[in-house]
Amino acid sequence: MEMAQIVIDIPRDVLDAVKLPSAEIEKELRQELALALYERGVLAVGKARLLAGMTRWEFEELLGRRRIVRHYTTADLAEDIRYGHSR
């Protein structure tokens, strides 16, 4: 999978205010971004879980814990079918 990089500048005082161990901050921010974009309908579940760095089932569990309504479109179904066939 080809990777692209986007750098987001976060003010130091904001990072310092995050109440997480520094080793966990990037992982948590990626998950939060993935959840927010999925909830808004900006990313399909497959792409959101890739952004979050999680398996499909881990991401589904996270959606459940956060009580985020699952969106499942015909595009999501097609993506799931493609993913299943590529395995």
Residue ranges of the chain with per-residue pLDDT less than 70: 1, 87
Q: Which structural domain, as residue segments, surrounds residue 71?
A: 34-87
The verdict on pTM exceeding 0.85 is: no
Q: What percent of the chain has pLDDT over 70?
A: 97
Nearest Cα neighbor of 84 from 46, 54, 49 is: 46
Tell me, yes or no, whether 56 lies in a domain: yes
Tell me, yes or no, whether 4 lies in a domain: no
Nearest Cα neighbor of 35 from 64, 11, 14 is: 64
Domains in the chain, number: 1
pLDDT for res 6: 87
